[in-house]
Amino acid sequence: MDTKIFTGNFFENYLSLTHYQTLFAIAALLISFYIIKKLQDKKVSFSLRMFAGLGMGIVLGLGIQCLTGFQKEPLIWMQETATWYGLFGRIFISFIRMLVIPLVFVSIVKVIIDFSGQKDLPKIAFRGIFWLLFTTGIACIIGILLGNIFSLGYTHNTLPIELKGREMTNLVDTFVNLVPSNIVSAMNTENIIGLVIFSALIGLGANRMEKKNPEAIGLFKKLIEGLYKIVMSVTMTIIKYMPYAVIALLSKTIISNGIPAIMEVSGFVLSVYIAAILMLLIHVLLVSLHGISPLLFVKKSVEVWLMGFTSRSSVGTLPLTIATLTERMGVSSGTANLIGSLGSTMGMNGCAGFFPALIAIMVAHMIGIPMDAQFYIMLVIVVVIGSIGVAGIPGTATIAATIVLSGMGLGEYFPLIGMVLAIDPIIDMPRTMANVSGSLTSAVIVDKETGNMNMNIFNDPDVILKD
C-alpha cells in the first residue's frame, strides 16, 4: 500500500521525506536523543549512556525492521529513515576525522618535549616505550590473523573498488615514502606516519635548542601545552556525543541491512574478545621469560584487569595500575609512574593494537583490496607508529582506527565501520583490559631488566594494597 504524503522532486530527492512512517521514525530518534540528554543532565556515567544508546539503537532498528516483516529489500520510507539517521552518524564521524591531524601533531610533540630534563629516566623511558610498542606490534599481528581467519567484512559479492590506482611498490620505496617531502601535503592527504615523523622532529628540535634559547623554547612548550589542552577539550566535547551517534549508527545499519548485519558484526565482537585473551597470555609469557612467576603475575594483575574491563578507561584505571605495580609487584615508583602513565596514552595493545588492525582487515575485505606481504608490513608499521599519537580518553579506539585507515590510504572508507562504532561499548571492555595489562607487563619487564624491581615484594603472595 502506497503511504506517500508528499510527492515531487523536492520531497523525494532533496528532502528524502515522502512517507508518514519516515516522520514517525525521525520522531522516535529524537525521543531517544532526549532520553540520552536527560541521562546526561543527571550525571549518569558515560559508560551507562553508551550502553543505553546501544540498547535504543537496537530497539529502533529492529522495531522498524519488525514493522515491515523483516523484508530483505528496504522499503522507500526505510531508505529515507536510514538517510536521516545517517545524518547524525556521519556528522559525528566527520568530527572525529577532523581531529586526527591536530591531535596526532600536538600529542607527539608533547610526548617528546616531556622527556626534556629527565636525565635519570631516559633509560627507563626508552625501554618502556620499546615494550609498549613491541606488544602493540604483536597485538596488531594477532588482529591481522583473526581478521583473516574470521573473514571479517568479506562477502562473496565483494567487488574491487578503484584498485587500478594502487600500484605495487617495493619495500625500499615504501620506507622512503614514509618521509613526507611536503608536510602540508602530508596533512592534507592524511599521511599519518609522515606527520608523526615531522612532529617528533619538532619535539626533538625544541629539546635540543632549550639550553641556547630557554625563553623562546619555554614559550613554545607553553604553546604546545595550551594547544594540547585545547585539542583534548574539543575531543572530549565531541566524544561526549558518542552515545547519540551510537543510536543513529546502529539503528541505521540494522534498518539498511537487517539481521545479517548483526550476525556479521558478531564475528568482529568474537575476534576482539579472542584477541584480548591471546594478548593476556602473551603478556604472561613475556614476564615468565624474564624470570618472573607467571602465576603470581596473574594473581596480582586480576584486579587491574577487571577494573579496566568494567571501567573501560585506561586513564581511570591508572591509579590502581600504579598502586598495584609499586605495592604488590615491587616495581620502583619512578618506573611505575612513568610507564604506567605512558601506557595509558600510547602503545595501547587493545585500542591501538589489535582493534585498528581488525578494522583495516575488515575494510580491505569489504572493498576488495588484495592483501599481500607489503600490505601487512605496512599495516604493522602504521599501527605501531600511530599508537604513539593517541590519548587515553573515551573514544581512543575510534581515533586509532581513523589514524590507521588514513595511514593505509583507506581514510575515505571510514564510514564503512559505522556498525562497529555502534557496538563500541561491547568491544571496549576487552580492549581496555588488554591496554592496562600491556602497561603492567611493560613496567614489570623494564624494572626487572634494569635491576630496580623488589622481588621480595613480588614473590610475597599475601601482600595487599594499602588503604
Amino acid 310: pLDDT: 65
d(CA 355, CA 350) in angstroms, rounded, equals 6
DSSP 413: G
pLDDT band for position 159 (cuts 50, 70, 90): very low
Could you tell me which of 304, 322, 334 has the C-alpha nearest to residue 436? 304
Q: Which residue has the higher pLDDT, 63 or 110?
A: 63
Torsional class of 73: left (φ above 0), alpha (ψ -120 to 50), beta (otherwise): beta
- DSSP annotation string for 56-75: HHHHHHHHHHHHTTS-SSPP
Domain boundaries, the chain: 90-458
HEC string of 371-392 equals CCHHHHHHHHHHHHHHHHHCCC
Residue 165 has pLDDT above 50, yes or no: no
The count of C-alpha atoms lying within 13 angstroms of the C-alpha of 100, restricted to the half-sphere facing its C-beta, is 30
- DSSP annotation string for 113-137: HHTTT-TTSHHHHHHHHHHHHHHHH
Amino acid 138: pLDDT: 97
Residue 160 has pLDDT above 50, yes or no: no
Give the tens place of pLDDT for each residue, 69-93. Answer: 766 666 788 888 888 888 887 787 7
Torsional class of 151: left (φ above 0), alpha (ψ -120 to 50), beta (otherwise): left
Amino acid 102: pLDDT: 83
d(CA 53, CA 49) in angstroms, rounded, equals 6
C-alpha angle with apex 215: 212 to 218, nearest 5 degrees? Answer: 105
pLDDT band for position 37 (cuts 50, 70, 90): very high
Name every residue whose Cβ is closer than 8 Å to that of residue 351 and which is 6 or more positions away in sequence.
314, 390, 396, 397, 400, 428, 431, 432, 435
Residues in a beta bridge with 19? 4
Give the pLDDT mean for 178-196.
Answer: 73
pLDDT band for position 229 (cuts 50, 70, 90): confident
Neighbours of 68 (CB within 10 A): 15
The residue with cell 503511504 is 3
pLDDT band for position 449 (cuts 50, 70, 90): very high
Could you tell me which of 293, 283, 291, 290 has the C-alpha nearest to residue 459? 293
Give the tens place of pLDDT for each residue, 351-386. Answer: 989 999 999 999 999 888 888 898 999 899 989 988
Q: Which residue has the higher pLDDT, 192 or 287?
A: 287
The residue with cell 556479521 is 264
pLDDT band for position 189 (cuts 50, 70, 90): low
d(CA 114, CA 290) in angstroms, rounded, equals 29
Give the pLDDT mean for 226-233.
Answer: 84
Residue 167 has pLDDT above 60, yes or no: no
Neighbours of 244 (CB within 10 A): 22
What's the pTM?
0.69
Three-state DSSP class for 368? Answer: coil
Amino acid 289: pLDDT: 96
pLDDT band for position 52 (cuts 50, 70, 90): confident
Report residue 303 as a C-alpha cell.
584486579
DSSP 11: I
Q: What share of the chain is helix, strand, coil (3-state, %, to 5)?
A: 75, 0, 25
Report residue 29 as a C-alpha cell.
530518534
Amino acid 317: pLDDT: 78
Could you tell me which of 31, 109, 56 has the C-alpha nearest to residue 250? 56
Residue 394 has pLDDT above 60, yes or no: no
- CA dihedral defined by 367, 369, 375, 381, rounded to 10 degrees? -10
Give the tens place of pLDDT for each residue, 235-268. Answer: 778 878 878 888 887 788 778 766 666 666 788 9
Give the pLDDT mean for 40-47.
Answer: 81
By CB neighbour count within 10 A (0-12 exposed, 13-18 middle, 19+ buried), where does 247 fall?
Answer: buried
Q: How far is residue 234 from each of residues 181, 219, 223, 240, 276, measured CA to CA in Å?
A: 30, 22, 16, 10, 30
C-alpha angle with apex 267: 355 to 79, nearest 5 degrees? Answer: 95
By CB neighbour count within 10 A (0-12 exposed, 13-18 middle, 19+ buried), where does 141 fall?
Answer: middle
Give the pLDDT mean for 143-165.
Answer: 68
Give the pLDDT mean for 153-168.
Answer: 48
In contact, 168 and 416? CB cutoff 8 Å: no
Report residue 174 as a C-alpha cell.
615504501
Amino acid 311: pLDDT: 65
Q: What percent of the chain has pLDDT over 70?
A: 84
Q: Which residue has the higher pLDDT, 113 or 268?
A: 268
Give the pLDDT mean for 438-464.
Answer: 90
In contact, 134 and 126? CB cutoff 8 Å: no
Give CATH for domain 90-458.
Answer: 1.10.3860.10
Give the tens place of pLDDT for each residue, 265-313. Answer: 788 989 999 999 999 999 999 999 999 999 999 999 988 888 788 666 7
DSSP 325: I
- CA dihedral defined by 445, 450, 452, 453, rounded to 10 degrees? 20
Q: Which residue has the higher pLDDT, 122 or 300?
A: 300
